[in-house]
Structure 1
Amino acid sequence: MVAPARLDLDQRGDTWSSLPDHDVDVLVVGGGVTGAGVALDAVTRGLSVLLVEQRDYASGTSSRSSKLFHGGLRYLEQLNFSLVREALRERELMLTRICPHLVRPVSFLYPLKHRFWERPYVTAGLTLYDSMGGARSVPRHKQLSRTKALRMVPGLRKDALAGALLYYDAKSDDARHTMTVARTAASYGARLLTSAKVERLLREGERVVGAEVTDVESGETATVRCRVVINCTGVWTDDVQELAGGRGQFHVRASKGVHIVVPRDRINSETGLILRTEKSVLFVIPWGMHWIVGTTDTDWDLDKAHPAASRADIDYILEHVNTVLAHPLTHDDIEGVYAGLRPLLKGESESTSQLSREHAVARPQPGLISIAGGKYTTYRVMAADAVDAARPDLASNVPESVTEHIPLVGAEGYHALSNQVETIALRQDLPAWRVEHLLGRYGSLVEELFAMWAEDPSLKDPVPGAEEYLRVELLYAATHEGALHLDDLLARRTRISIETKDRGVTCARPVAELVADALQWDSGRVDDEVKAWEARVAAERESQTEAADQEANAERLAAPDFRNRSVGRALA
C-alpha cells in the first residue's frame, strides 16, 4: 500500500522551489476532478507530473455538482447508451475498488403520474439501467404501488403520483473525492501546486514546451518546462488554448447549475426523489442531515470563478419541487445555495440542455492536449483518454492506464474498519455516528486523525457553530489536505458553507484561529481571512435576492477574492 502524501506548507514550498530545476513529462493545468485524474493516470504510468491549479482543488465545477456517481437516466431516453454504460461501469468501480469509503449507494423514488403507459415505459428503461456497465453493487429497481410509495415518502402530495419505482445510484462529496484523487497522485510521486496560475504557455515554433507560472500567494513567478501540457480547465479551456497562440479544435460553453440545501426534517422521506421537468430532471438527494435539491440548466457568460445563483434560479427549483410536496419549501427553509458551471461542448443548439455531456480530447498543436465536456462520473476514463492522446509528445513506450486497479488513499482497509465501528467508538470514546462520519470522509486515513487528538484531546471537540464536524477535521485539512485559505476549509474540505444556516459565519473565527499556526497566519491574517469569508457570505446572500444573472453576478463580485494578495487592503 502506498504511503499517503502529506499536502502542507512544507510540501508546497519544496515543490515551488524545485520548479526551475526539474523538467517534467506532463504539466497538468487545472485541479478539478479531470486534472487530478490526469495527474494520477500519468504518474501511475511512470511519467513525471506537475499539476498546477490557480485556486484550490475542486474550486470550480468539481465542488458544485449534484454529488452523484450515476449513469444518467435521461441519457438513456436520448438513446446515448454508450455514455450510460461507461458511466455505470465507473460507478461500479468506485463503489467496489477505487473509493468505497467516499462513494455509497443512494436510492431514488421515481413518481409515476400516468396510470397505463408510464410504468412499462420507465420499467423498461430501469431494467436496462440495472444491467448496463456490469452494475452489481446496488439493488435492482423495485415496483411500488401508490400506497407503498406514500408510506416510503409521506412528504409527497397524494395527488402527485399514481404509483412509483425505486432505483439506485451512488453519491459522493465531490470536493473531497477530487482532493483525494489529487492526494493519491501525490502519493505516487506527482507534484501538486494550488494557488499557482499559468500566465502564458512557452513555445518553440508551434510546439508548446512549458509554461510561466505565478504563485498567487506571493507573486513570485517560475518557468516550468515539459514535454506536454494537458489542459484540464473546464470552462476555462478556451482561455488556456488562447495562451498557446492557436485556435482549439473544439470550444466550451458554460451552463449554470444551481442547487439549494434544506434541513432533512423539511421533507419527510426515506429516500431521494427524481422528478421530471420540462427541460431535464430535478433531484432531491439525501445529504446527511440535509437534502440537496437541484439543478437548473441555463446559459452563463459572466464571471467563471464565482457563478452566482439568482432569485429566479432558486424560485425555479422551489416551484418544481413544490409541485409534489405536501408541505412546500420556502426561501426561509434554505440553509445553503451553490452554483456551478458545466463545461459543455458547443453545438448548434441554443439550449444548453441539448449540448453534449460527452467529452472530447484534442491535440490542437504539438505539446498541447485539451480535454473538456464529460460527466464527473467518467473522470477516470477522460483522464486516460487525455494521457493516451499525449503519447505523440511522450516516450514511445508509455504503458496503458492502470487507474482502474488503483484504490484512492483511505480505501485500503476501509471495509474492515467499517465492520468495527462500535469497537472504534468505544476505544476513541466517540458516538458510533461520529465514527461512521469520519470513516465516510477519510476511510483508513482516520487513524491519522486519531493520532492527532491523542496528542491534543481538544481536537475531538465539535466545531462551534458547525457541530457536525470535529475540530481535528479542520486542522487536518490544513496539515494534510492542502488547504491554504478559510474558504478552502469551509467550502470544500468541509461543507459548512452550505450545511449551516449562517453559512459558516459563526465558526469562521474559531476555525481560522485553530489553523493559524499550521498555515503561519498572524492575528492580522486571521482577521483578513474572517472578514473575507463574511464578505463572501454577504455577497452570496445579496446575489440570491437579485432577479436576473447580470445583477446577481455584480453582487457576488462585490466580495474580494481570497486568493488576492491585496485582500487585506481591500477589506480595510
Structure 2
Amino acid sequence: MGSLSPARRARDLAELPGATVDVVVVGGGVTGAGVALDAASRGLSVALFERQDLAAGTSRWSSKLVHGGLRYLAHGEIGLARESARERAVLMGATAPHLVRPLPFLVPDVAGRDVTALAELGGRAADAIRFSVPGGRGSLPSTRRVGADDVARMTPGVRPGAGGVVFWDGQLVDDARLVVALARTAAAYGARIVPGVEVLAVDGADVHVRVDDEAFALRAGAVVNAAGVWSQKLAPGIRLVPSRGSHLVVPASVLGSPSAAMTVPLPGSRSRYVFALPQPDGLVYLGLTDEPVEGPVPDGDPQPSEAEVQQLLDTVNQVLSSPLSRDDLVGAYAGYRPLVLPESAGTGPGDSTADLSRKHLLRWDGPVLSVVGGKLTTYRAMAEETVDAVVARLGRGAARSTTARLPLVGAAPRVALDRVSAPERLVARYGTEAPRVEALGPALVVAGRPETVGELRFAVEHEGARTVSDLLDRRTRIGLVPADRERAVAVAEQVLAER
C-alpha cells in the first residue's frame, strides 16, 4: 500500500549512500511527487529528497481547487485551459475521486450584471472545452443562471433580492493530502521517498546530500529539479518571477454557512476574482491575491501583507449584507507561485505577475532537468512530460506513461467509495483506507474540530510524519487556525512519543 513508515525511512537512508539510481527527484511538492510516481511506474529506480516535509512549500498553500482553466480563457490560452480540463477529469474520474468533489461557484448579480454576463459567457466556453476532453462531459453540471432564492440558499451572506450565475469546478479536500497520496503511491512502485534530506550539489552523476547534519553522496542517471520557487539553487539560469498568493480563514457561520463558492471580481479586473471557498470543516477561505515577490525567496513560510488582507476584505464586502472585518478572521495563509519569465521577455516581469502565463518550463542543465511553473491541477501532465525527457536521455524505462489511469492510494470508483464503512469525512480524505484510520482512534484531537487521533497515528505510521508541524500543518490542517493548533500540540507530541 506504499507505507512511508519510520522503519522504511531508516532502511532507505541506510541503503542510499553510495547507491546508484536512475532518477533523483529534488522537491517533495505536487510536481516532485508526481514525477516520482511517473518514473517509478515506468520501471525506473527513484529517490525523492525533500528538504523539509512532503507539501512543505507551495503545494499546501493553494486554494485547494482543481481548476478547469476558466481564467486561462480570459487570457486566450485555450491550450492551457483544455489541458487543465483534461487533468481535472483525470483526477475526478480515475486517479483521486475520493479527494476531489464538484463545487459550484456563484457570481451574484449584485456584483454587476455586466460581471455576471461575462461570467456566464466564460462558464459556457469552459463547458464547451470540458465536453471536448475525455471524461469531461459528465464530470460536472453546466453553467446556468439562478434566481434570488437560489442565491440566498447557496450563499446566504450575499445581499438579497437578485439572482446570479453558477459555474462548476473541482475542489480538493486538501492539497497536501494529494501530495501525500502521490508520494505513497510512488513508494508502492518502489520509489524511495525521503523527506528531511537536503540536496547540496550535483556534480556530474554525483548527488551530494545532507541529512541530520551528516553528508553522503549517491549517483544518478538524471536529477529532476522540482523545487519550485527554490529551483534556482540547482539551476541559477532559470528566470523566475515569484508571486505571493494569500488567503484569509473565517468561520463559515459568519457567511451563513455557504454551500457554493462566492465569486466577486477584483475591482478594475475582468479576469481576476476573489473567492469565498467553503470547506468541509466549517471554515471558509477567502482568496486570492497575486503580489510580486522582490529579491531572493526566503526559506520560511510567507505571510499575507496588511494590504492583501484589506484587499480581500474590501473586495468580498462589496456583495455582503454584513461586511466582514478583521475581527472575523481566525487565520490566514500565503504561498509562493513559481512563475516563469519567458525567454523572450526583458529583464523584468512587466506590470503584473497576474498577467504571466501559468505554463511550465522544462530545461536541461547538464544532468539536471528542471521542471518549474505550471499549476497544481496539471501536475500529472508536467510529470509525464518530464519523465518522457528522462527516459529519452537514459534510454531505459517505459516509453509511455500510465498515470492518467493509475489510481492513487485510497482511490476507487464513486460507487465503491459510497460503500466504505467509515465516516464520510474520513472517506473523503483517505478513501478506501478510511476504516483503518478510524480503527486507530476516533477521539477528537481538539474539541470543536473534526480531526481524530487516529489520523495523527496513521500519519506517523504510514505517511512519513516526523514532527508536530508535519501532523498539524500538513497531514491535517489544524494549523490554519492558530488557536486550534495551540490546543492540539500536546496531543500531537503524545502521538509522536508512541512511536
Calculate the TM-score normalised by the size of structure 2: 0.92
Separation in 2, partners of 1:340, 1:397:
35
Which deviates more from structure 2 when the two are superposed, residues 485-494 or residues 356-365? 356-365
Separation in 1, partners of 2:413, 2:354:
41
Separation in 1, partners of 2:21, 2:228:
23
Change in CA separation of 1:11 and 1:114 when aligned onto 2, cut-off 3 Å: closer
For the pair 1:322 / 2:317, whether they are aligned, the reply is yes
Corresponding residue number in structure 1 for 2:244: 256
Separation in 2, partners of 1:486, 1:475:
12
Corresponding residue number in structure 2 for 1:290: 283
Corresponding residue number in structure 2 for 1:537: none
For the pair 1:467 / 2:449, whether they are aligned, the reply is yes
1:414–1:443 CA contact under 8 A, matched in 2 = no
Separation in 1, partners of 2:259, 2:177:
25
TM-aligned CA deviation for residue 130 of structure 1: 1.1
For the pair 1:502 / 2:483, whether they are aligned, the reply is yes
For the pair 1:441 / 2:429, whether they are aligned, the reply is yes
Decide which of 88, 91, 94 is 1:91's aligned counterpart. 88
Corresponding residue number in structure 1 for 2:121: 124
**Pairs within 5 Å for 1:547-562:** none
TM-aligned CA deviation for residue 294 of structure 1: 0.4
TM-aligned CA deviation for residue 333 of structure 1: 1.4
For the pair 1:225 / 2:227, whether they are aligned, the reply is no
Separation in 1, partners of 2:113, 2:265:
18
Decide which of 239, 254, 265 is 2:233's aligned counterpart. 239
Change in CA separation of 1:144 and 1:53 when aligned onto 2, cut-off 3 Å: same
Decide which of 136, 151, 174 is 1:149's aligned counterpart. 151
Q: Which amino acid aligns with 1:438?
A: L
2:108–2:116 CA contact under 8 A, matched in 1 = no
Aligned with 1:479: secondary structure? helix
Aligned with 1:253: secondary structure? coil
For the pair 1:375 / 2:390, whether they are aligned, the reply is no
Corresponding residue number in structure 1 for 2:301: 306
For the pair 1:483 / 2:465, whether they are aligned, the reply is yes
Separation in 1, partners of 2:449, 2:118:
45
Change in CA separation of 1:396 and 1:42 when aligned onto 2, cut-off 3 Å: closer
**Pairs within 5 Å for 1:146-295:** 146=148, 148-158=150-160, 163-172=163-172, 173-203=174-204, 209-215=205-211, 218-242=212-236, 248=237, 250-268=238-256, 269-277=258-266, 278-279=268-269, 280-288=272-280, 289-295=282-288
Decide which of 477, 494, 499 is 1:513's aligned counterpart. 494
Q: Deviations over 1:53-83 (max 9, x none)?
A: 0011110000000100012322111111111
Q: Which amino acid aligns with 1:95?
A: M
TM-aligned CA deviation for residue 515 of structure 1: 2.0
TM-aligned CA deviation for residue 446 of structure 1: 1.6
TM-aligned CA deviation for residue 350 of structure 1: 3.7
TM-aligned CA deviation for residue 19 of structure 1: 0.7
TM-aligned CA deviation for residue 503 of structure 1: 4.0
Q: % of aligned pairs identical?
A: 37
Change in CA separation of 1:341 and 1:119 when aligned onto 2, cut-off 3 Å: closer
Separation in 1, partners of 2:484, 2:447:
10
2:198–2:210 CA contact under 8 A, matched in 1 = yes
Q: Deviations over 1:157-210 (max 9, x none)?
A: 248xx541111101111001111101100011101110100011112xxxxx13
TM-aligned CA deviation for residue 396 of structure 1: 5.0
Change in CA separation of 1:397 and 1:292 when aligned onto 2, cut-off 3 Å: closer
Decide which of 10, 14, 28 is 2:7's aligned counterpart. 10
**Pairs within 5 Å for 1:322-471:** 322-346=317-341, 347=345, 348-365=349-366, 367-395=367-395, 398-412=398-412, 415-419=415-419, 424=421, 435-452=423-440, 459-465=441-447, 467-471=449-453
Q: Which amino acid aligns with 2:469?
A: D
Q: Which amino acid aligns with 2:248?
A: I
**Pairs within 5 Å for 1:516-535:** 516-518=497-499
Change in CA separation of 1:200 and 1:108 when aligned onto 2, cut-off 3 Å: same
1:71–1:83 CA contact under 8 A, matched in 2 = no
Change in CA separation of 1:345 and 1:44 when aligned onto 2, cut-off 3 Å: same
Aligned length: 480
TM-aligned CA deviation for residue 364 of structure 1: 2.5
TM-aligned CA deviation for residue 120 of structure 1: 4.8
TM-aligned CA deviation for residue 392 of structure 1: 4.0
TM-aligned CA deviation for residue 465 of structure 1: 4.2
Separation in 2, partners of 1:286, 1:122:
20
TM-aligned CA deviation for residue 393 of structure 1: 2.6
Q: Which amino acid aligns with 2:100?
A: V
TM-aligned CA deviation for residue 8 of structure 1: 1.9
Q: Deviations over 1:291-336 (max 9, x none)?
A: 1110111011352432122222211111111111111111121122
Task: Give unmatched runs, 5+ long, in structure 2.
Answer: none
Separation in 2, partners of 1:235, 1:397:
29
Separation in 2, partners of 1:441, 1:96:
16
1:466–1:504 CA contact under 8 A, matched in 2 = no
Calculate the TM-score normalised by the size of structure 1: 0.80
RMSD: 1.9
Aligned with 1:475: secondary structure? helix
Higher relative contact order (CA 8 A, sep 6+): 2
Separation in 2, partners of 1:414, 1:171:
16
1:107–1:166 CA contact under 8 A, matched in 2 = yes
Which one has a bigger Cα radius of gyration? 1
Aligned with 1:228: secondary structure? strand
Separation in 1, partners of 2:419, 2:128:
29
Which deviates more from structure 2 when the two are superposed, residues 218-227 or residues 462-471? 462-471
Separation in 2, partners of 1:65, 1:114:
25
